[in-house]
Structure 1
Amino acid sequence: MNRLFKKSIVCFITLHFFLSASSQEAAYTPPALTDSNAWSMILLPDPQTYVKFSRNQPIWELMTSWVSENIQPLHIEMVLCTGDLVEQNNILMPVGQNGNQASANQWRSVARGFSRLDGQVPYIAATGNHDYGFKSAENRQTNYNQYFPADKNPKSQALLKEVGLNIDQQPSLTKCCLRIHRSSRHQIPFYGIRVCPTRWNDCLGKGGGEQTCLRRTSRGIVDALLFKC
């Protein structure tokens, strides 16, 4: 009985120490720029990992909520998503270990997360191979346009310079070029596909000076180009 009592005391002291340490966590320090004249571009890779499981979808919304909360403190002027918005573009039933959400729920989740940024900051939601076909680019059909129409985010729509045609010969943001305008810095064009090289060069080369461009095809951002006009 005495031995049991001693063990109980030790357990109680250990638990008390643990709870005391947990209650004394350091206060949250929000991110801040070291240069007040700097600006930020946020990179969000592969939302597919979050939206294919119902338990992970709130993590995706937490990420975009963090971006929304820090637009002003970090001078965020662009959010770039590298693609693979969903795990499967067009499946009607979940496939078990590789997700418990049908494609429609995955698309709704990723679009809902981006909705937290609509009207606040421009973003580019690129497509990846998982965003086409049934599971992974068996064809060039995609549900992208249904969930990411051109007018979804007015901030992004205002930066559109060129739009190409998708497989259905319809204008689509899966093939487009946007440009950020900054009076104090070079214009930075993003996310272009060269449907006609001369036309896209004209689009991307205006404004004079030296410009950096991310050139995008329907398979993703493939290279960075430097324009001198």
Structure 2
Amino acid sequence: MQRKLLFPTALAAVLALAACDRGITNAGTANQLSRSDAVALAGDFGDQDGAMLDGFGGPAFSASPDGPSFATSTVTTTFTRTRTCPQGGDVKLEGSLVRSWDRAAQTGSIQFTATRTEEACAFNHNGATITVTGSPNTQLTASQSVTNGTPGIRTATKKGSFTWTKSTGGSGTCTVDVTHTWDPATHTLHVSGTLCRQTIDVTRTWTQS
């Protein structure tokens, strides 16, 4: 039997999920993204982060004879991944993942840090093009532990800023400062902070797919 940590790529989906919730307030102006634009970008960013981080998993705990010959281990993985944006430009994600586990004790942890930088990364929303460039970038972090084979609460953050221009007019700087906690025992997600000057304070039940 194997138990795996819930990998923090879920952070990407969480940000998109939170942006779509009614817990976000405030409308947009000429130098501020509208609620619908912020929601759309959050979803686009979430899709990109998830795609670039696909394949990184958490530590698996196995007591089977063909499991690892060592009782404990810590592995650090560094990465740089770049993805082309839908309407031109690109986004780069670079960082590290530290996984520690003790097979016999069924305990472990995962620590994730990454920097996201956009370079004229463009998206089309409702006929308009929004072009994003890191200002300078966004920092993603996440951590989670496992005790006796049971995943604990995951804490994750996404902080930083980016500049944007819109083909129909308007430009500005968008700040991201969001913290989320995920309790796998109760499937309870709490997200709070700000995204593109939109206030987020969401608590809801969420089942990962």
| TM-score, length-scaled by structure 2 | 0.27
Greater helix share, structure number: 1
Greater strand share, structure number: 2
| TM-score, length-scaled by structure 1 | 0.26
